[in-house]
Amino acid sequence: MDLPPSPPSLRRRSVSLTLACAVAFLASLQAFAFSFGPDYRNLGASLGARWLPSFVLGSSLVSIVFLVALWWRMRRWALWGFLAVAAAQSVAWVHLGWWRPTMLVLPAVVGGAAAWTWDRLR
């Protein structure tokens, strides 16, 4: 016996989650666009981390996928995936000595917006 489908009003996207995902998506898109620019290449070379541009490229692409799944499909696994990518990015920047607390703003905003609408996520 199947449960009745949930009312459509429970599955609506919230404005806060939409805005948070849009801002984080634009930030990830910018990181993707600049990943092999001279700034990241020079920073990676000066820190002895030639892997930095590739890491920024890969993690930004994965972040974009998780943000689209979070916004479009409203999936909890997408939130956990995005937060895991943000944690991996933080670990990499800590390893390089360039981590700043402001790097946690977007993951906190997306996590807060998702927590606000947790009952709507599947």
Q: Specify the pTM.
A: 0.87
Residue 10 CB partners (closer than 8 Å, separation 6+): 119, 120
pLDDT digits (tens, 9 = 90+) for 56-110: 999 999 999 999 999 999 999 999 999 999 999 999 999 999 999 999 999 999 9
Q: Is residue 3 part of a domain?
A: no
pLDDT digits (tens, 9 = 90+) for 51-64: 999 999 999 999 99
Q: Is residue 4 part of a domain?
A: no
The total of structural domains in the chain comes to: 1
Rg of the chain in Å (alpha carbons): 17
Q: Is residue 32 part of a domain?
A: yes
Q: Is residue 70 part of a domain?
A: yes
Q: Is residue 9 part of a domain?
A: no
Q: Is residue 20 part of a domain?
A: yes
Provide the residue range defining the domain that includes 70.
14-120
Q: Is residue 45 part of a domain?
A: yes
Q: C-alpha distances in angstroms, 6 versus 15, 61, 69, 72, 100?
A: 20, 32, 20, 17, 42
Q: Is residue 6 part of a domain?
A: no
CA atoms within 13 A on the CB side of 12: 7
